[in-house]
Protein backbone atom coordinates (compact mmCIF):
# COMPACT_ATOMS: atom_id res chain seq x y z
CA UNK A 1 0.00 0.00 0.00
CA UNK A 2 2.75 2.41 1.03
CA UNK A 3 4.55 1.48 -2.16
CA UNK A 4 1.45 2.31 -4.20
CA UNK A 5 1.05 5.67 -2.48
CA UNK A 6 4.68 6.39 -3.11
CA UNK A 7 4.27 5.57 -6.79
CA UNK A 8 1.22 7.83 -7.01
CA UNK A 9 3.19 10.73 -5.54
CA UNK A 10 5.90 10.13 -8.13
CA UNK A 11 3.30 10.11 -10.90
CA UNK A 12 2.01 13.52 -9.82
CA UNK A 13 5.44 15.12 -9.48
CA UNK A 14 6.73 13.57 -12.72
CA UNK A 15 3.66 14.82 -14.58
CA UNK A 16 4.51 18.33 -13.45
CA UNK A 17 8.26 18.16 -13.92
CA UNK A 18 7.99 16.97 -17.50
CA UNK A 19 5.29 19.39 -18.64
CA UNK A 20 2.37 16.97 -18.62
CA UNK A 21 0.01 18.34 -15.97
CA UNK A 22 -0.09 21.52 -13.88
CA UNK A 23 -2.56 22.58 -11.23
CA UNK A 24 -5.01 25.13 -12.61
CA UNK A 25 -4.14 28.81 -11.97
CA UNK A 26 -1.27 27.67 -9.80
CA UNK A 27 0.11 31.19 -9.25
CA UNK A 28 -3.06 31.86 -7.25
CA UNK A 29 -2.59 28.62 -5.29
CA UNK A 30 -4.66 26.56 -7.70
CA UNK A 31 -8.30 25.56 -7.94
CA UNK A 32 -9.38 22.33 -6.35
CA UNK A 33 -9.78 19.39 -8.75
CA UNK A 34 -9.12 21.49 -11.87
CA UNK A 35 -5.98 20.87 -13.92
CA UNK A 36 -4.14 22.20 -16.96
CA UNK A 37 -2.28 20.07 -19.46
CA UNK A 38 1.22 21.27 -20.34
CA UNK A 39 3.22 21.02 -23.54
CA UNK A 40 3.61 17.25 -23.36
CA UNK A 41 0.26 16.59 -21.69
CA UNK A 42 -1.68 18.25 -24.47
CA UNK A 43 0.02 15.98 -27.02
CA UNK A 44 -0.55 12.79 -25.02
CA UNK A 45 -4.17 13.73 -24.46
CA UNK A 46 -4.65 14.50 -28.13
CA UNK A 47 -3.08 11.17 -29.10
CA UNK A 48 -5.32 9.20 -26.73
CA UNK A 49 -8.36 11.01 -28.14
CA UNK A 50 -7.18 10.26 -31.66
CA UNK A 51 -6.57 6.59 -30.85
CA UNK A 52 -10.11 6.34 -29.52
CA UNK A 53 -11.63 8.29 -32.40
CA UNK A 54 -9.90 6.30 -35.09
CA UNK A 55 -10.83 2.97 -33.57
CA UNK A 56 -14.46 3.98 -33.01
CA UNK A 57 -15.27 6.18 -36.02
CA UNK A 58 -12.72 5.48 -38.73
CA UNK A 59 -12.67 1.72 -38.16
CA UNK A 60 -16.46 1.33 -37.99
CA UNK A 61 -18.41 2.04 -41.16
CA UNK A 62 -21.58 2.50 -39.18
CA UNK A 63 -20.27 4.98 -36.59
CA UNK A 64 -20.02 8.71 -37.29
CA UNK A 65 -18.86 11.66 -35.21
CA UNK A 66 -20.49 14.74 -33.74
CA UNK A 67 -19.40 17.87 -31.91
CA UNK A 68 -22.38 19.28 -30.02
CA UNK A 69 -22.25 22.47 -27.98
CA UNK A 70 -21.60 22.43 -24.25
CA UNK A 71 -24.63 24.65 -23.63
CA UNK A 72 -27.94 22.95 -24.29
CA UNK A 73 -31.56 23.92 -23.91
CA UNK A 74 -32.35 23.56 -20.19
CA UNK A 75 -35.25 21.18 -20.85
CA UNK A 76 -32.65 18.67 -22.05
CA UNK A 77 -31.61 18.08 -18.44
CA UNK A 78 -35.17 17.82 -17.22
CA UNK A 79 -35.84 15.13 -19.83
CA UNK A 80 -32.62 13.24 -19.17
CA UNK A 81 -33.40 13.03 -15.46
CA UNK A 82 -30.36 15.03 -14.40
CA UNK A 83 -32.34 17.82 -12.74
CA UNK A 84 -34.17 15.36 -10.52
CA UNK A 85 -31.76 12.51 -10.13
CA UNK A 86 -28.16 13.48 -10.88
CA UNK A 87 -27.05 13.68 -7.32
CA UNK A 88 -24.75 11.90 -4.92
CA UNK A 89 -25.56 11.01 -1.32
CA UNK A 90 -23.23 13.01 0.89
CA UNK A 91 -22.41 12.71 4.57
CA UNK A 92 -20.24 14.84 6.86
CA UNK A 93 -18.11 13.75 9.73
CA UNK A 94 -18.95 16.04 12.65
CA UNK A 95 -15.48 15.87 14.19
CA UNK A 96 -13.18 16.23 11.19
CA UNK A 97 -15.73 18.35 9.25
CA UNK A 98 -14.77 16.30 6.22
CA UNK A 99 -17.40 15.58 3.58
CA UNK A 100 -17.73 12.14 1.96
CA UNK A 101 -19.89 10.35 -0.53
CA UNK A 102 -21.87 7.95 1.62
CA UNK A 103 -21.86 5.26 -1.07
CA UNK A 104 -18.09 5.53 -1.48
CA UNK A 105 -17.57 5.02 2.26
CA UNK A 106 -19.42 1.70 2.06
CA UNK A 107 -17.67 0.72 -1.19
CA UNK A 108 -14.25 1.41 0.36
CA UNK A 109 -15.24 -0.71 3.36
CA UNK A 110 -16.17 -3.56 0.99
CA UNK A 111 -12.93 -3.16 -0.95
CA UNK A 112 -10.94 -3.48 2.27
CA UNK A 113 -12.63 -6.83 2.93
CA UNK A 114 -11.77 -7.87 -0.58
CA UNK A 115 -8.13 -6.97 0.02
CA UNK A 116 -8.11 -8.99 3.23
CA UNK A 117 -9.44 -12.02 1.35
CA UNK A 118 -6.83 -11.54 -1.37
CA UNK A 119 -4.10 -11.35 1.26
CA UNK A 120 -5.19 -14.68 2.74
CA UNK A 121 -5.16 -16.23 -0.72
CA UNK A 122 -1.70 -14.89 -1.54
CA UNK A 123 -0.36 -16.22 1.78
CA UNK A 124 -1.86 -19.65 1.13
CA UNK A 125 -0.49 -19.68 -2.42
CA UNK A 126 2.98 -19.14 -1.02
CA UNK A 127 2.50 -21.87 1.60
CA UNK A 128 1.18 -24.52 -0.80
CA UNK A 129 3.42 -23.71 -3.73
CA UNK A 130 2.67 -25.30 -7.05
CA UNK A 131 -0.09 -27.56 -5.79
CA UNK A 132 -2.22 -24.52 -4.83
CA UNK A 133 -5.76 -24.58 -6.21
CA UNK A 134 -7.04 -21.01 -5.92
CA UNK A 135 -10.64 -21.74 -6.84
CA UNK A 136 -10.92 -24.51 -4.29
CA UNK A 137 -9.30 -22.44 -1.55
CA UNK A 138 -11.64 -19.52 -2.26
CA UNK A 139 -14.65 -21.81 -2.09
CA UNK A 140 -13.71 -23.57 1.15
CA UNK A 141 -11.46 -21.47 3.38
CA UNK A 142 -13.69 -20.16 6.20
CA UNK A 143 -11.80 -16.89 6.61
CA UNK A 144 -11.90 -16.03 2.92
CA UNK A 145 -15.56 -17.02 2.78
CA UNK A 146 -16.26 -14.82 5.79
CA UNK A 147 -14.67 -11.75 4.21
CA UNK A 148 -16.39 -12.34 0.89
CA UNK A 149 -19.83 -12.79 2.46
CA UNK A 150 -19.48 -9.61 4.47
CA UNK A 151 -18.27 -7.75 1.39
CA UNK A 152 -21.17 -8.90 -0.79
CA UNK A 153 -23.67 -8.25 1.98
CA UNK A 154 -22.51 -4.65 2.39
CA UNK A 155 -22.61 -3.81 -1.33
CA UNK A 156 -25.96 -5.55 -1.86
CA UNK A 157 -27.54 -3.71 1.08
CA UNK A 158 -26.14 -0.39 -0.15
CA UNK A 159 -27.58 -1.04 -3.61
CA UNK A 160 -31.02 -1.84 -2.18
CA UNK A 161 -31.05 1.26 0.02
CA UNK A 162 -29.96 3.59 -2.80
CA UNK A 163 -32.52 2.02 -5.11
CA UNK A 164 -35.23 2.80 -2.57
CA UNK A 165 -33.76 6.28 -1.98
CA UNK A 166 -33.58 5.36 1.71
CA UNK A 167 -30.98 7.85 2.94
CA UNK A 168 -31.68 7.18 6.63
CA UNK A 169 -31.03 3.51 5.87
CA UNK A 170 -27.66 4.37 4.29
CA UNK A 171 -26.66 6.25 7.42
CA UNK A 172 -27.80 3.33 9.59
CA UNK A 173 -25.70 0.98 7.43
CA UNK A 174 -22.59 3.15 7.86
CA UNK A 175 -23.13 3.12 11.62
CA UNK A 176 -23.81 -0.60 11.76
CA UNK A 177 -20.65 -1.40 9.79
CA UNK A 178 -18.80 0.89 12.19
CA UNK A 179 -17.23 2.84 9.37
CA UNK A 180 -14.97 5.55 10.73
CA UNK A 181 -13.81 8.81 9.13
CA UNK A 182 -10.46 7.94 7.49
CA UNK A 183 -9.08 11.26 8.69
CA UNK A 184 -10.17 11.48 12.33
CA UNK A 185 -11.19 7.90 13.10
CA UNK A 186 -14.47 9.29 14.42
CA UNK A 187 -17.85 7.62 13.84
CA UNK A 188 -19.83 10.77 14.53
CA UNK A 189 -21.79 11.25 11.28
CA UNK A 190 -24.43 13.71 10.08
CA UNK A 191 -27.53 12.58 8.17
CA UNK A 192 -27.12 11.62 4.53
CA UNK A 193 -28.34 14.23 2.00
CA UNK A 194 -28.64 14.31 -1.78
CA UNK A 195 -26.51 16.87 -3.63
CA UNK A 196 -27.04 17.73 -7.33
CA UNK A 197 -23.80 17.66 -9.29
CA UNK A 198 -24.68 20.00 -12.16
CA UNK A 199 -23.09 23.44 -12.44
CA UNK A 200 -25.58 26.20 -13.17
CA UNK A 201 -24.88 29.31 -15.21
CA UNK A 202 -26.81 32.07 -16.96
CA UNK A 203 -27.34 32.95 -20.59
CA UNK A 204 -28.28 36.53 -21.48
CA UNK A 205 -27.35 40.08 -20.62
CA UNK A 206 -29.87 41.27 -18.09
CA UNK A 207 -30.84 39.63 -14.85
CA UNK A 208 -34.57 39.65 -15.74
CA UNK A 209 -34.29 38.00 -19.12
CA UNK A 210 -31.41 35.63 -18.43
CA UNK A 211 -32.10 31.92 -18.82
CA UNK A 212 -30.76 29.42 -16.33
CA UNK A 213 -28.50 26.93 -18.03
CA UNK A 214 -26.37 24.01 -16.93
CA UNK A 215 -22.90 23.12 -18.05
CA UNK A 216 -23.39 19.66 -19.51
CA UNK A 217 -22.58 16.88 -17.03
CA UNK A 218 -22.17 14.35 -19.86
CA UNK A 219 -21.74 14.56 -23.60
CA UNK A 220 -24.34 11.87 -24.32
CA UNK A 221 -27.38 14.16 -24.41
CA UNK A 222 -25.90 16.17 -27.30
CA UNK A 223 -25.94 12.91 -29.23
CA UNK A 224 -29.53 12.00 -28.33
CA UNK A 225 -31.00 15.35 -29.33
CA UNK A 226 -29.19 15.09 -32.67
CA UNK A 227 -30.18 11.49 -33.28
CA UNK A 228 -32.57 12.24 -36.14
CA UNK A 229 -30.38 14.97 -37.67
CA UNK A 230 -27.52 12.52 -38.05
CA UNK A 231 -29.66 9.54 -39.00
CA UNK A 232 -31.47 11.44 -41.76
CA UNK A 233 -28.59 13.47 -43.21
CA UNK A 234 -26.14 10.58 -42.94
CA UNK A 235 -28.77 8.08 -44.21
CA UNK A 236 -27.77 5.82 -41.35
CA UNK A 237 -29.43 2.45 -40.86
CA UNK A 238 -29.86 0.75 -37.54
CA UNK A 239 -27.63 -0.46 -35.99
CA UNK A 240 -25.41 2.63 -36.06
CA UNK A 241 -23.46 4.77 -33.64
CA UNK A 242 -22.65 8.42 -32.98
CA UNK A 243 -19.38 9.26 -31.25
CA UNK A 244 -18.37 12.45 -29.52
CA UNK A 245 -15.54 13.76 -27.40
CA UNK A 246 -15.76 16.89 -25.30
CA UNK A 247 -15.80 18.62 -21.95
CA UNK A 248 -18.23 17.70 -19.18
CA UNK A 249 -18.65 19.36 -15.79
CA UNK A 250 -19.62 17.92 -12.43
CA UNK A 251 -19.56 19.58 -9.05
CA UNK A 252 -18.06 16.49 -7.43
CA UNK A 253 -18.44 16.37 -3.65
CA UNK A 254 -15.11 14.78 -3.04
CA UNK A 255 -12.77 15.59 -5.87
CA UNK A 256 -9.45 13.93 -5.22
CA UNK A 257 -6.88 11.53 -6.60
CA UNK A 258 -5.41 14.00 -9.07
CA UNK A 259 -7.02 13.81 -12.51
CA UNK A 260 -9.07 10.74 -11.56
CA UNK A 261 -11.99 12.82 -10.32
CA UNK A 262 -12.13 16.35 -11.66
CA UNK A 263 -14.79 19.03 -11.75
CA UNK A 264 -14.06 19.81 -15.41
CA UNK A 265 -13.08 16.82 -17.51
CA UNK A 266 -13.34 15.36 -20.95
CA UNK A 267 -15.40 12.40 -22.04
CA UNK A 268 -15.24 10.16 -25.09
CA UNK A 269 -18.67 8.68 -25.62
CA UNK A 270 -20.38 6.61 -28.25
CA UNK A 271 -24.10 5.91 -28.38
CA UNK A 272 -25.02 2.86 -30.44
CA UNK A 273 -28.64 2.72 -31.66
CA UNK A 274 -30.10 -0.76 -32.03
CA UNK A 275 -33.38 -2.60 -32.56
CA UNK A 276 -35.40 -3.06 -29.38
CA UNK A 277 -34.74 -6.55 -28.07
CA UNK A 278 -31.24 -6.72 -29.57
CA UNK A 279 -29.59 -4.54 -26.95
CA UNK A 280 -28.11 -7.37 -24.89
CA UNK A 281 -26.28 -8.78 -27.88
CA UNK A 282 -24.76 -5.37 -28.58
CA UNK A 283 -24.05 -4.75 -24.93
CA UNK A 284 -21.92 -7.90 -24.87
CA UNK A 285 -20.30 -6.93 -28.16
CA UNK A 286 -19.27 -3.50 -26.89
CA UNK A 287 -18.02 -4.85 -23.56
CA UNK A 288 -15.66 -7.13 -25.41
CA UNK A 289 -14.69 -4.61 -28.10
CA UNK A 290 -13.85 -1.92 -25.57
CA UNK A 291 -11.82 -4.27 -23.40
CA UNK A 292 -9.84 -5.31 -26.47
CA UNK A 293 -9.19 -1.66 -27.26
CA UNK A 294 -7.65 -1.20 -23.83
CA UNK A 295 -5.60 -4.36 -24.16
CA UNK A 296 -4.25 -3.25 -27.54
CA UNK A 297 -2.16 -0.62 -25.76
CA UNK A 298 -0.09 -3.25 -24.00
CA UNK A 299 -0.28 -1.88 -20.46
CA UNK A 300 -0.76 -5.38 -19.06
CA UNK A 301 -3.92 -7.49 -19.37
CA UNK A 302 -4.09 -8.14 -15.62
CA UNK A 303 -4.69 -4.46 -15.04
CA UNK A 304 -8.29 -4.60 -16.26
CA UNK A 305 -11.39 -6.20 -14.86
CA UNK A 306 -15.14 -5.91 -15.33
CA UNK A 307 -17.42 -4.78 -12.57
CA UNK A 308 -21.09 -5.47 -13.23
CA UNK A 309 -23.38 -2.94 -11.58
CA UNK A 310 -25.79 -4.08 -8.91
CA UNK A 311 -27.46 -0.70 -8.67
CA UNK A 312 -28.56 0.44 -12.11
CA UNK A 313 -29.04 4.07 -13.06
CA UNK A 314 -32.61 5.14 -13.79
CA UNK A 315 -32.06 4.76 -17.55
CA UNK A 316 -30.26 1.41 -17.70
CA UNK A 317 -31.19 -2.27 -17.90
CA UNK A 318 -27.57 -3.47 -17.74
CA UNK A 319 -24.30 -1.74 -16.91
CA UNK A 320 -20.68 -2.65 -16.36
CA UNK A 321 -17.48 -0.78 -15.69
CA UNK A 322 -14.09 -1.58 -17.05
CA UNK A 323 -11.94 -1.07 -13.99
CA UNK A 324 -8.24 -0.32 -14.18
CA UNK A 325 -5.52 -0.98 -11.66
CA UNK A 326 -4.70 2.64 -10.80
CA UNK A 327 -1.94 3.48 -8.28
CA UNK A 328 -4.71 3.54 -5.64
CA UNK A 329 -6.29 0.22 -6.66
CA UNK A 330 -8.90 -0.97 -9.15
CA UNK A 331 -11.33 1.83 -10.06
CA UNK A 332 -13.73 2.67 -12.88
CA UNK A 333 -12.11 3.73 -16.12
CA UNK A 334 -14.97 3.25 -18.56
CA UNK A 335 -18.68 2.50 -18.40
CA UNK A 336 -20.68 0.38 -20.82
CA UNK A 337 -24.39 0.93 -20.37
CA UNK A 338 -27.48 -0.48 -21.95
CA UNK A 339 -29.62 2.68 -21.75
CA UNK A 340 -32.81 1.20 -23.25
CA UNK A 341 -35.04 3.72 -25.06
CA UNK A 342 -35.15 5.89 -21.95
CA UNK A 343 -33.39 8.97 -23.32
CA UNK A 344 -34.97 9.13 -26.78
CA UNK A 345 -38.43 8.53 -25.33
CA UNK A 346 -37.93 11.21 -22.69
CA UNK A 347 -36.83 13.71 -25.34
CA UNK A 348 -39.87 12.79 -27.44
CA UNK A 349 -42.12 13.52 -24.49
CA UNK A 350 -40.49 16.79 -23.52
CA UNK A 351 -40.03 18.17 -27.05
CA UNK A 352 -43.19 16.82 -28.65
CA UNK A 353 -41.05 15.66 -31.62
CA UNK A 354 -40.81 12.10 -32.80
CA UNK A 355 -37.39 10.49 -32.46
CA UNK A 356 -38.03 7.25 -34.30
CA UNK A 357 -36.54 5.13 -37.01
CA UNK A 358 -38.39 3.45 -39.83
CA UNK A 359 -36.92 -0.02 -40.15
CA UNK A 360 -37.45 -1.14 -43.76
CA UNK A 361 -36.75 -4.78 -42.94
CA UNK A 362 -39.39 -4.90 -40.22
CA UNK A 363 -41.58 -2.37 -42.00
CA UNK A 364 -42.22 -0.52 -38.74
CA UNK A 365 -41.31 2.59 -36.78
CA UNK A 366 -39.70 2.35 -33.38
CA UNK A 367 -37.68 4.29 -30.83
CA UNK A 368 -34.26 2.61 -30.93
CA UNK A 369 -32.57 1.16 -27.89
CA UNK A 370 -29.12 2.48 -27.01
CA UNK A 371 -25.89 0.89 -25.86
CA UNK A 372 -23.36 3.43 -24.67
CA UNK A 373 -19.62 3.30 -24.17
CA UNK A 374 -18.34 6.16 -22.04
CA UNK A 375 -14.77 6.77 -21.02
CA UNK A 376 -13.08 9.69 -19.29
CA UNK A 377 -10.16 10.96 -21.34
CA UNK A 378 -8.39 12.28 -18.25
CA UNK A 379 -8.83 8.97 -16.44
CA UNK A 380 -7.44 7.18 -19.47
CA UNK A 381 -4.51 9.60 -19.38
CA UNK A 382 -3.89 8.72 -15.74
CA UNK A 383 -4.11 5.00 -16.50
CA UNK A 384 -1.57 5.24 -19.32
CA UNK A 385 0.76 7.62 -17.53
CA UNK A 386 0.81 5.84 -14.19
CA UNK A 387 1.51 2.41 -15.68
CA UNK A 388 4.16 3.78 -18.04
CA UNK A 389 6.19 5.51 -15.35
CA UNK A 390 8.83 3.07 -14.18
CA UNK A 391 12.08 3.11 -12.30
CA UNK A 392 14.55 0.54 -13.58
CA UNK A 393 17.66 -0.89 -12.02
CA UNK A 394 20.31 -1.24 -14.69
CA UNK A 395 23.02 -3.87 -15.01
CA UNK A 396 25.77 -1.39 -14.20
CA UNK A 397 24.20 -0.71 -10.80
CA UNK A 398 22.66 2.64 -11.69
CA UNK A 399 18.97 3.28 -12.18
CA UNK A 400 16.86 5.22 -14.63
CA UNK A 401 13.40 6.76 -14.66
CA UNK A 402 11.61 5.89 -17.86
CA UNK A 403 8.16 6.73 -19.14
CA UNK A 404 7.31 3.72 -21.28
CA UNK A 405 4.31 5.25 -23.02
CA UNK A 406 2.88 3.18 -25.85
CA UNK A 407 4.81 4.64 -28.81
CA UNK A 408 1.59 5.42 -30.68
CA UNK A 409 0.59 7.75 -27.82
CA UNK A 410 3.96 9.34 -27.03
CA UNK A 411 3.93 13.16 -27.38
CA UNK A 412 7.25 13.20 -29.21
CA UNK A 413 8.20 10.27 -31.40
CA UNK A 414 11.91 10.99 -31.79
CA UNK A 415 14.67 13.24 -30.48
CA UNK A 416 17.37 14.24 -32.94
CA UNK A 417 20.74 14.58 -31.23
CA UNK A 418 23.94 15.81 -32.89
CA UNK A 419 26.79 14.36 -30.83
CA UNK A 420 28.51 17.76 -30.71
CA UNK A 421 27.44 21.29 -31.56
CA UNK A 422 29.98 21.69 -34.34
CA UNK A 423 31.74 20.05 -37.31
CA UNK A 424 28.60 20.16 -39.44
CA UNK A 425 26.67 17.68 -37.25
CA UNK A 426 23.87 20.13 -36.28
CA UNK A 427 23.26 20.78 -39.98
CA UNK A 428 22.74 17.08 -40.70
CA UNK A 429 20.47 16.81 -37.66
CA UNK A 430 18.39 19.81 -38.75
CA UNK A 431 17.99 18.33 -42.21
CA UNK A 432 16.69 15.08 -40.73
CA UNK A 433 14.26 17.05 -38.58
CA UNK A 434 12.96 18.93 -41.59
CA UNK A 435 12.34 15.63 -43.27
CA UNK A 436 10.52 13.98 -40.32
CA UNK A 437 8.48 16.86 -38.98
CA UNK A 438 5.67 16.55 -41.52
CA UNK A 439 4.80 13.11 -40.20
CA UNK A 440 5.91 13.12 -36.58
CA UNK A 441 6.47 15.36 -33.61
CA UNK A 442 10.24 15.46 -33.24
CA UNK A 443 12.54 17.49 -31.01
CA UNK A 444 16.09 18.70 -31.39
CA UNK A 445 18.51 18.62 -28.48
CA UNK A 446 22.21 19.46 -28.56
CA UNK A 447 22.82 20.34 -24.92
CA UNK A 448 24.81 18.13 -22.47
CA UNK A 449 26.53 14.79 -22.95
CA UNK A 450 24.55 12.37 -25.08
CA UNK A 451 23.97 9.97 -22.16
CA UNK A 452 22.22 12.71 -20.23
CA UNK A 453 20.15 13.59 -23.25
CA UNK A 454 19.04 9.94 -23.52
CA UNK A 455 17.90 9.96 -19.90
CA UNK A 456 16.00 13.20 -20.42
CA UNK A 457 14.13 11.67 -23.34
CA UNK A 458 13.52 8.42 -21.40
CA UNK A 459 11.85 10.40 -18.64
CA UNK A 460 9.80 12.42 -21.12
CA UNK A 461 8.62 9.24 -22.85
CA UNK A 462 10.24 9.66 -26.30
CA UNK A 463 10.51 6.22 -27.94
CA UNK A 464 13.48 6.98 -30.23
CA UNK A 465 16.70 8.95 -30.02
CA UNK A 466 18.57 9.47 -33.27
CA UNK A 467 22.23 10.42 -32.83
CA UNK A 468 24.33 11.99 -35.53
CA UNK A 469 28.10 11.59 -35.02
CA UNK A 470 31.27 12.21 -37.00
CA UNK A 471 30.98 8.89 -38.84
CA UNK A 472 27.62 10.00 -40.19
CA UNK A 473 29.46 12.38 -42.47
CA UNK A 474 31.45 9.49 -43.94
CA UNK A 475 28.97 6.62 -44.08
CA UNK A 476 25.56 8.37 -43.95
CA UNK A 477 24.56 6.26 -40.94
CA UNK A 478 23.06 7.32 -37.59
CA UNK A 479 22.53 5.58 -34.25
CA UNK A 480 18.94 4.76 -33.38
CA UNK A 481 18.50 4.19 -29.67
CA UNK A 482 15.33 2.50 -28.44
CA UNK A 483 13.80 3.84 -25.21
CA UNK A 484 12.52 0.58 -23.71
CA UNK A 485 15.34 -1.84 -24.50
CA UNK A 486 18.05 0.86 -24.57
CA UNK A 487 19.40 -1.04 -27.56
CA UNK A 488 21.27 0.90 -30.19
CA UNK A 489 21.44 0.15 -33.87
CA UNK A 490 23.29 1.80 -36.66
CA UNK A 491 21.21 2.47 -39.74
CA UNK A 492 21.29 4.54 -42.91
CA UNK A 493 19.76 7.95 -42.34
CA UNK A 494 17.17 7.22 -45.03
CA UNK A 495 15.97 4.23 -42.98
CA UNK A 496 15.05 6.28 -39.88
CA UNK A 497 11.52 7.06 -41.00
CA UNK A 498 10.79 3.42 -41.71
CA UNK A 499 11.96 2.39 -38.25
CA UNK A 500 9.82 4.99 -36.55
CA UNK A 501 6.84 4.01 -38.66
CA UNK A 502 6.98 0.35 -37.58
CA UNK A 503 6.27 1.45 -34.01
CA UNK A 504 3.84 4.31 -34.44
CA UNK A 505 1.52 3.17 -37.20
CA UNK A 506 -2.15 2.74 -36.34
CA UNK A 507 -2.31 -0.36 -38.47
CA UNK A 508 0.25 -2.11 -36.30
CA UNK A 509 -1.44 -1.10 -33.03
CA UNK A 510 -5.03 -1.65 -33.98
CA UNK A 511 -4.91 -4.88 -35.93
P1 LIG B 1 -17.84 7.65 -10.86
O2 LIG B 1 -18.67 6.51 -10.33
O3 LIG B 1 -16.36 7.42 -10.78
O4 LIG B 1 -18.28 9.00 -10.38
P5 LIG B 1 -19.62 7.65 -13.04
O6 LIG B 1 -20.12 6.26 -13.00
O7 LIG B 1 -20.44 8.76 -12.52
O8 LIG B 1 -18.14 7.71 -12.41
P9 LIG B 1 -20.15 8.02 -15.81
O10 LIG B 1 -21.25 8.98 -15.59
O11 LIG B 1 -20.48 6.64 -16.24
O12 LIG B 1 -19.21 7.98 -14.52
O13 LIG B 1 -19.11 8.70 -16.80
C14 LIG B 1 -18.36 7.96 -17.74
C15 LIG B 1 -16.87 8.11 -17.55
O16 LIG B 1 -16.51 9.47 -17.38
C17 LIG B 1 -16.33 7.42 -16.31
O18 LIG B 1 -16.09 6.06 -16.55
C19 LIG B 1 -15.05 8.19 -16.06
O20 LIG B 1 -13.99 7.66 -16.83
C21 LIG B 1 -15.38 9.58 -16.54
N22 LIG B 1 -15.66 10.47 -15.41
C23 LIG B 1 -16.81 10.58 -14.72
N24 LIG B 1 -16.71 11.50 -13.76
C25 LIG B 1 -15.45 12.00 -13.84
C26 LIG B 1 -14.74 13.00 -13.12
N27 LIG B 1 -15.30 13.69 -12.15
N28 LIG B 1 -13.44 13.24 -13.48
C29 LIG B 1 -12.86 12.57 -14.49
N30 LIG B 1 -13.49 11.63 -15.19
C31 LIG B 1 -14.77 11.33 -14.90
Least confident of 45-49, 347-351, 504-508: 504-508
pLDDT tens column, 371-414 = 999 999 999 999 999 999 999 999 888 999 999 999 999 999 99
Distance CA 83, CA 196 (A): 8
pLDDT tens column, 459-490 = 999 999 999 999 999 999 999 999 999 999 99
Single out the residue of 446, 447, 412 nearest to residue 430, CA to CA. Answer: 446
Domain 1-79+197-390 in CATH 3.40.640.10? The answer is no
What atom in ligand 1 is closest to the CA of residue 331? Answer: 3
What atom in ligand 1 is closest to the CA of residue 217? Answer: 10
Distance CA 82, CA 77 (A): 5
Q: What pLDDT, on a 0 to 100 scale, did the predictor assign at position 1?
A: 63
Q: Where are the domains of the chain?
A: 1-79+197-390, 87-194, 412-510
Distance CA 10, CA 399 (A): 15
Name 343's Cβ contacts closer than 8 Å, sequence gap at least 6: 79, 80, 220, 221, 224, 315, 370
| Contact between residue 19 and residue 38 where contact means Cβ atoms under 8 Å apart | yes
Dist. CA 376 → ligand 1 center (Å) = 6
Dist. CA 265 → ligand 1 center (Å) = 9
Q: What pLDDT, on a 0 to 100 scale, did the predictor assign at position 2?
A: 73
Which residue among 306, 334, 335 has the greatest number of ligand 1 atoms within 8 angstroms of its CB, and so is best to mutate? 335
* pLDDT average, residue stretch 320-345: 96
Dist. CA 86 → ligand 1 center (Å) = 12
Backbone angles phi, psi at 188, to 5 degrees: -95, 95
Dist. CA 271 → ligand 1 center (Å) = 16
Distance CA 203, CA 211 (A): 5
What atom in ligand 1 is closest to the CA of residue 374? Answer: 14
Dist. CA 323 → ligand 1 center (Å) = 11
Whose CA is closest to atom 20 on ligand 1?
Answer: 376
pLDDT tens column, 129-164 = 888 898 899 899 999 999 999 999 999 999 999 888
Using CB distances shorter than 6 Å, the residues near ligand 1 are 218, 250, 252, 261-262, 265, 267, 332-335, 374-376, 378-379
Whose CA is closest to atom 3 on ligand 1?
Answer: 332
Give the torsion sign (CA, 225, 229, 234, 240): positive
Dist. CA 185 → ligand 1 center (Å) = 28
Which residue among 265, 336, 337 has the greatest number of ligand 1 atoms within 8 angstroms of its CB, and so is best to mutate? 265
* pLDDT average, residue stretch 169-175: 96
User: Residue 127: is its pLDDT beyond 80?
Assistant: yes
pTM of the shown model: 0.88
Dist. CA 21 → ligand 1 center (Å) = 19
Distance CA 447, CA 449 (A): 7
Q: What pLDDT, on a 0 to 100 scale, did the predictor assign at position 471?
A: 96
Architecture of domain 412-510: 3-Layer(aba) Sandwich (3.40)
Whose CA is closest to atom 19 on ligand 1?
Answer: 376
**% of the chain surpassing 90 pLDDT:** 88
pLDDT tens column, 37-80 = 999 999 999 999 999 999 999 999 999 999 999 999 999 999 99
Let me know how long the chain is.
511
Dist. CA 455 → ligand 1 center (Å) = 35
Q: What pLDDT, on a 0 to 100 scale, did the predictor assign at position 4?
A: 80
Q: What pLDDT, on a 0 to 100 scale, did the predictor assign at position 16?
A: 97
Q: What is the residue-averaged pLDDT of the chain? A: 94
Classified as helix, coil or strand, 328 is coil
Dist. CA 482 → ligand 1 center (Å) = 36
Single out the residue of 352, 75, 68 nearest to residue 213, CA to CA. Answer: 75
pLDDT tens column, 231-245 = 999 999 999 999 999
For residue 317, give the H/E element and its range: none
Whose CA is closest to atom 21 on ligand 1?
Answer: 376
pLDDT tens column, 204-239 = 877 777 788 999 999 999 999 999 999 999 999 999
Q: How far is residue 175 from each of residues 179, 186, 194, 284, 356, measured CA to CA in Å?
A: 6, 11, 18, 38, 48
Amino acid sequence: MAQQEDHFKKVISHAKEYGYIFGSSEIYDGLSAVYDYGQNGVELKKNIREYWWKSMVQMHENIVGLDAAIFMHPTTWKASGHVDAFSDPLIDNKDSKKRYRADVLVEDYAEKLNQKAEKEITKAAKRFGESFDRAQYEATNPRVLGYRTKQKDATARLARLLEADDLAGVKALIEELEIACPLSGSKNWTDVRQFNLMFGTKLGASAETATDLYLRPETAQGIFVNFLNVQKTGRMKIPFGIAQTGKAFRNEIVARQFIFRMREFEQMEMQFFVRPGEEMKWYEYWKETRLNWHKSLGLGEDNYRFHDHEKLAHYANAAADIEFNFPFGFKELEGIHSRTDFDLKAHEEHSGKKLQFFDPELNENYVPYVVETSIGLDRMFLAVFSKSLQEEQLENGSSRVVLKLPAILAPTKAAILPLVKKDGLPEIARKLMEDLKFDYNVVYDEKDAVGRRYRRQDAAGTPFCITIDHDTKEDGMVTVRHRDSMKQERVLIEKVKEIIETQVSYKVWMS
